[in-house]
Amino acid sequence: MLLAGCGLAENPQPPTLWLPQPVKDLAATRVSNTVRLHWTMPKNTTDKVALKGDQRAQVCWEFAAPTGKPAFDAKNCRTAGDGMFPPDKPADLAVPLPDELTTGKPRAVAFYVELQNHVGKTAGPSNPAWVASGPAPLGVAGLQLETRAEGVVLRWAPATPEPGLIMRLHRTLVLVSGAPKPDEAKGVSPPAEQTLEVSLDHQDPGGAVDRDAALDHTWKYWVERVVRIEADGHAIETAGPPSAAVTIDAKDVFPPAVPAGLAVVADPQGKAMDLSWTPDTDADTAGYFVYRMDLSPGAAPASAWERITPKVVVAPSYTDTTVLPGHSYAFAVSAVDQDGNESAKSPEVQEQMPQ
């Protein structure tokens, strides 16, 4: 009873081995002949003791194991690199691919990270992160950009197509300038970053149109060839060297379509000419300008178009109340977008105002 009342310490625990918990989220990406590894460093040891200071990480690789063989074989896993990383932080490591993995038929290759304590002991490997051996796709040469009404045109030096090959286009927003585009006026801005793909399975067209690139924006592009393969039961991508980044100021200097269907009807009672036309379907059309030419003898100056709408007309119609009785007139209409780009005039329509 006396012993039971004493303040004894808990049962003694064995000392921690300071083994970091294994990595669980290793990811690998092959770009040309370099493997880029990313993972999250654990916070604690296997004894749930907080790790202190940088921890050593050793990287190794092995080919995909035959059916029935363990996924990780410490004897066959070949060292590829190492580094020191702080606990409870993201970790990145670039590992050169061994020469033997850059040629021949593609095979699945598993990379592992093992975290070691101060005497080189480990609690086990990470999850496998897969890349493919074999040659990487060719780099992209001669990337050029051009602005068109439908978007940004990209051109590159074409290469021989092959199954599973794609061109991956990376676009990043640099600057917004000029008039807001229709989607932006509704509160929908273009994405700051976007990735697009062009299939090179059967042919390399040497170019593509990025129709999602809004005009009046400055964009930065870089591209890469990527091959998708199925190796040893694993779907894997291998990227070639990235191209140089190219920037373009994609200004909107393109006018809307020329209005069509212009019709003019004289209104003697109202002493006016009523005009109507087919609405322009361009998304950024702001409105229309109406032009008139007096065809009557002695009209001055002769054969000169006069814009009779001081402001943009929003609706596809207009009433001209400044016509004179007995005069003949020609009318035409142009379309104007939000950047002030004006289309050519529509085909003229002539009408006479009765006396």
Q: Report whether 228 contacts 166 (CB < 8 A).
A: yes
CA angle 331, 333, 336 (to 5 degrees): 160
State how far the alpha carbon of 57 is from the alpha carbons of 22, 145, 239, in Å: 10, 43, 25
Residue 268's pLDDT band (boundaries 50, 70, 90)? very high
The DSSP-derived string for 181-236 is: PHHHHTT-PPPSEEEEEEE-SS---SEEEETTS-SSEEEEEEEEEEEEEEETTEEE
Same domain, 162 and 234: yes
Same domain, 245 and 148: yes
Q: Report whether 276 contacts 253 (CB < 8 A).
A: no
Domain count, the chain: 3
Is residue 346 included in any domain, yes or no? yes
**CATH no. for residue 97?**
2.60.40.10
- Tokens 């207009």, located at residue: 318
The 10s digit of each residue's pLDDT in 335-353 is 999 999 999 999 999 999 9
**CATH no. for residue 150?**
2.60.40
Distance in Å from the first CA to the final CA of the chain? 129
Is residue 330 included in any domain, yes or no? yes
Residue 12's pLDDT band (boundaries 50, 70, 90)? low
pTM over 0.85: no
Domain end point (choices 132, 156, 188):
132
Query: In this structure, are strands 129-132 and 234-239 parallel, antiparallel, or unpaired?
Result: unpaired
Can you tell me the distance from the alpha carbon of 113 to that of 301, in angstroms, rounded to the nearest whole number? 85
Check residue 355 and give its pLDDT: 85
Same domain, 177 and 106: no
Q: Report whether 223 contacts 167 (CB < 8 A).
A: yes
Q: At 214, which amino acid appears?
A: A
Q: Is the per-residue pLDDT at 181 higher than 90?
A: no
Question: Could you tell me the residue range of the domain that residue 302 belongs to?
Answer: 260-352
Is residue 118 included in any domain, yes or no? yes
Is residue 197 included in any domain, yes or no? yes
Same domain, 160 and 207: yes
The 10s digit of each residue's pLDDT in 318-340 is 999 999 999 999 999 999 999 99
Enter the tokens of residue 198. Answer: 């062009």
